Amino acid sequence: MRIVVGVGGGIAAYKACSLIRKFTETGHHVRVIPTESALQFVGKATFEALSGNRVDTGVFADVPEVPHVRIGQEADLVVIAPATADLMARAAMGRADDLLTATLLTARCPVLFAPAMHTEMWEHPATVANVRTLRAHGSIVMEPAAGRLTGADTGPGRLPEPEEIFALASLLLERADAIPRDLEGRRIVVSAGGTREPLDPVRFLGNRSSGKQGYAMARVAAQRGAHVILVAGNTIGLEPPAGVEVVHVTTAEQMGIAVDKHATGADAVIMAAAVADFRPANVAAAKIKKGAGEPDSIELTKNRDILAGLVAARRDGRLPGLAIVGFAAETGDEHGDVLTHARAKLKRKGCDLLVVNAVGEGKAFEVDNNDGWLLGADGTEQALDHGSKALLASRVLDALGPLLR
Ligand code: CTP
């Protein structure tokens, strides 16, 4: 695919270099268009070497090729990283005073802005209005990350990590309309990852959940405008998605407490976590040793079902109107195939939507791609095409939207 990477003049311009590499390494054709001030931070030669293509900032280079029209027209995706306050202001106004803004006016493909600026600039009414305008024009303006900015100050305005920008860009290449702004004003709780049930101070019972699907759910929901609280169990060291409030937990018990707490006042809970059904009945205070007194079995006790608890609370009127989404990793067996088990689980659990993944043979766990089915309590069944976990997340959010009060 043909990707245009526009680089604004901010210190985060150096992070555009890793983004460009990710695009070229995954086989995309990349054309970098910096603003003149971006070149104060990263040299033209760097962008040319990384992209393998010529780099210009103005409209008067290579005139016979009419690049200010052609590059935008031919692009499959435009990604602006970092998008500075000034660059977004110019883009919102429809200025065309350099090659990048001219390209933005001629592009008809998805356009993704990854903002980076100081918190004051991000929160200024002028920037807020420009972001609103850009979104109204159909561009996707990412939520910036919060954290340390240049200097000692912290707050929202940090450039989302290149991995995050890459994930959303890849999603837009899979599905151009995957990130509408349809969840603005919504509060969504997402659980992700596996729980760990301690056995002694050094050992635990765990599972193979990587957390990737839940993190993708949280990431896409946040970029669609929701306030997302991500209750994260054990993951394979995933970076928290930009604009998401993360609550870290370890055990199923802790996850239950955190989910229940945040479910109050939420519009939806998405239980993507792999919650342990059992935990060791006794947790040894000291490390269990071989030899005299060694146990020959581990006694287990049942954990409560968090999802079922939410359904019960809704039924009792304690969580009125909460939309509830469950996940199920299933295998077929002598009692039925994956879908038969999944339909029974949806009924048993009483949630509104059940996302079903077939597991085994290198599927679902730890991998980047996923597919499956989406079953609705109203009897609807939709196949989820094979694609990234973010793509699957976008389909689930499409189905969730109409269920929100
Ligand atoms: N779940 C939960 N609390 C638990 C176990 C599971 O909230 N103690 C949630 C999971 O997050 C998931 C859904 O329930 O959204 C289905 O999980 P799964 O383990 O497939 O369900 P179980 O009822 O444990 O089914 P099975 O008998 O197949 O293990």
Q: How high is the pLDDT of residue 209?
A: 93
Give the range among 140-149, 166-175, 313-322 with minimum mean pLDDT. Answer: 140-149
Q: How high is the pLDDT of residue 363?
A: 65
Q: How high is the pLDDT of residue 155?
A: 85
Overall average pLDDT of the 189-205 stretch: 98
Distance 305 CA to ligand 1 centre (A): 7
Would you say the C-alpha torsion 88, 94, 96, 100 has a positive or negative sign? positive
Check pLDDT > 70 for residue 401. yes
Q: Report the atom number in ligand 1 closest to the C-alpha of 277.
A: 8
Check pLDDT > 70 for residue 260. yes
Closest residue by Cα to residue 376 from 325, 341, 313: 325
Question: Between the CA of residue 217 and those of 146, 174, 271, 343, 398, what are the distances in Å?
Answer: 19, 16, 10, 22, 12
Residue in 213, 234, 271 to alter for ligand 1 test, most ligand atoms within 8 A of Cβ? 271
Closest residue by Cα to residue 115 from 10, 208, 192: 10
Check pLDDT > 90 for residue 196. yes
Q: Report the atom number in ligand 1 closest to the C-alpha of 354.
A: 15
Distance of alpha carbon 342 from alpha carbon 391, whole angstroms:
21
> Is 307 close to ligand 1, i.e. is its CB under 6 Å away?
yes
**By alpha-carbon position, which residue is closest to atom 20 of ligand 1?**
328
Check pLDDT > 80 for residue 354. yes
For the stretch 377-391, pLDDT in tens is 999 999 999 999 999
Q: How high is the pLDDT of residue 322?
A: 98
User: Where is the binding site, in residues?
Assistant: 277, 287, 327, 345, 349
Overall average pLDDT of the 201-222 stretch: 96
User: Is 207 known to be catalytic?
Assistant: yes
Q: Report the atom number in ligand 1 closest to the C-alpha of 273.
A: 11
Give the range among 14-28, 146-160, 246-260, 315-329 with minimum mean pLDDT. Answer: 146-160
Q: How confident is the model at residue 139 (pLDDT cuts 50, 70, 90)?
A: very high
**Helices in 148-203 by DSSP H: which ranges?**
162-174
DSSP 253-320: HHHHHHHHHHHTT-SEEEE-SB--SEEESS--SS---SSTT--SS--EEEPP-HHHHHHHHHHTTSST
Distance of alpha carbon 24 from alpha carbon 30, whole angstroms:
7
Check pLDDT > 80 for residue 57. yes
Q: How high is the pLDDT of residue 370?
A: 82
> Is 303 close to ligand 1, i.e. is its CB under 6 Å away?
yes
Angle (CA) 398-231-187 rounded to 5° is 45
Q: How high is the pLDDT of residue 364?
A: 64
Asked if 140 contacts 223 with a C-beta cutoff of 8 angstroms, the reply is yes
> Is 267 close to ligand 1, i.e. is its CB under 6 Å away?
no
Check pLDDT > 70 for residue 361. no
Q: Which of 207, 234, 303, 357 is catalytic?
A: 207
The mean predicted confidence, pLDDT, of the chain is: 95
> Is 305 close to ligand 1, i.e. is its CB under 6 Å away?
yes
Tell me the whole-structure pTM to 2 decimals: 0.95
For the stretch 92-136, pLDDT in tens is 999 999 999 999 999 999 999 999 999 999 999 999 999 999 999
Q: How high is the pLDDT of residue 107?
A: 98
